């Protein structure tokens, strides 16, 4: 069976793109990245695609008068490529309802919080201001509502008394690089599927373990 074709959409440095590229380089991974699209011509993440020999495209949102026109150009390129799934990896654009509906169940995003907490921007600053003791990241299917689609997987990290935005962001990003490829694998293999408003796993997927902060003796 042929590997699933993946497009990754980026706007910046592409660290999660790099983690997906590395995962897809494994012969046992069920997907391959066929295209990387950036809405910013000088996005550093395009270098990761170039190094890996992956086709790149720039669709600059500033060339379009409306979000819908930009999304139509984006969809046209994805359809022409024969893409099966789309991964957002630091893609800093709100997608129109029509685009999201077209790719429902095949459009995945990663967000640096334990959703539904701290949707939107400035996540780690808000996390620290709220005084929470456990933070993390979430991979989810994209829905028209911002950062609100069915959750595929999450990873948690402790918030340390000495943390600032930079240190907490770095600790979470380390887990993002592990979580995103794993969740993509589950989706591509059909082991994580949307059921109503949530995602259900196959029975063989075992979820165990706990993180306590502060820890018990």
Q: Is a pLDDT exceeding 90 seen at residue 204?
A: no
Residue 210 pLDDT class (50, 70, 90 cuts): confident
Evaluate whether 197 touches 178 at the Cβ level (below 8 Å). no
Rg (CA), the chain: 17
Average pLDDT over residues 190-196: 94
Mean pLDDT of 54-81: 97
168 and 73 together in one domain: no
Flag whether 211 is in a domain: no
Q: What is the pLDDT of residues 87-121, one digit of tens each?
A: 999 999 999 999 999 999 999 999 999 999 999 99
In a domain, 84, yes or no: yes
Residue with tokens 């026109």: 69
- In the chain, the number of structural domains is 2
Tokens of 46: 């395009």
In this structure, the answer to whether residues 121 and 36 fall within a common structural domain is no
**Cα(93)–Cα(87) distance, integer angstroms:** 13
CA dihedral for 161, 164, 165, 166, sign (positive or negative): negative
94 shares a domain with 20: yes
Answer with the one of 56, 77, 103 that is the final residue of a domain: 103
Model confidence over 35-55: pLDDT tens digits?
999 999 999 999 999 999 999
Q: What's the rounded Cα separation, in Å, for the pair 60 and 76?
A: 14
Residue 62 lies in a domain: yes
Least confident stretch, 19-23, 167-171, 204-208: 204-208
pTM of structure: 0.96
Query: Which residues neighbour 215 within 8 Å (Cβ) at sequence distance 6 or greater?
Result: none
* pLDDT for 21 beyond 70: yes
Residue 208: pLDDT over 90: no
Supply the range of the domain harboring residue 119. 110-204
pLDDT of 52: 97
- The verdict on 87 and 121 lying in the same domain is no
111 noted as active-site residue:
yes
Q: Which helix (H) or strand (E) holds 17?
A: helix 15-24
Give me the pLDDT at residue 171, please.
97
Residue 1 has pLDDT above 80, yes or no: no
167 plus 188 within the same structural domain: yes
Rounded to an integer, the average pLDDT of 114-137 is 97
Do residues 97 and 136 share a domain? no
Answer whether 75's CB lies under 8 Å from 102's CB. yes
Q: Give the Cα separation of 144 and 22 in Å (integer).
A: 30
189: domain CATH number is 3.40.50.170
Check: CB of residue 9 under 8 Å from CB of residue 41: no
122 and 199 in one domain? yes
Q: Which letter does DSSP use for residue 206 in this model? A: -
Domain-located, residue 156: yes
Single out the catalytic residue among 48, 61, 111, 177. Answer: 111
Q: Which of 75, 103, 131 is the last residue of a domain?
A: 103
Count, residues in the chain: 217
Are residues 163 and 75 located together in one domain of the fold?
no
In a domain, 196, yes or no: yes
Are 190 and 117 in a shared domain?
yes
**Mean pLDDT within 133-143:** 97
């Amino acid at each position: 069976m042929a590997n699933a074709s993946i497009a990754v959409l980026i706007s910046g440095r592409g660290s999660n793109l790099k983690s997906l590229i590395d995962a897809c380089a494994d012969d046992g991974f069920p997907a391959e990245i066929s295209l990387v699209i950036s809405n910013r011509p000088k996005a550093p993440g395009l270098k990761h695609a170039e190094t890996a020999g992956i086709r790149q495209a720039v669709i600059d949102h500033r060339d379009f008068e409306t979000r819908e026109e930009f999304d139509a150009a984006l969809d046209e390129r994805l359809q022409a490529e024969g893409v099966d799934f789309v991964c957002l990896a630091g893609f800093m654009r709100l997608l129109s309802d029509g685009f999201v509906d077209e790719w429902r169940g095949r459009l995945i995003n990663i967000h640096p919080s334990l959703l539904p907490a701290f949707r939107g921007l400035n996540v780690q600053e808000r996390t620290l201001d709220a005084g929470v003791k456990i933070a993390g990241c979430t991979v989810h299917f994209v829905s028209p509502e911002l950062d609100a689609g069915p959750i595929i997987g999450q990873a948690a990290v402790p918030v340390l008394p000495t943390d600032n935005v930079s240190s907490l962001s770095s600790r979470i990003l380390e887990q993002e690089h592990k979580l995103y490829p794993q969740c993509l694998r589950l989706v591509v293999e059909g082991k994580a599927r949307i059921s109503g408003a949530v995602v259900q796993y196959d029975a063989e997927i075992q979820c165990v373990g706990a993180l306590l902060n502060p820890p018990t003796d």
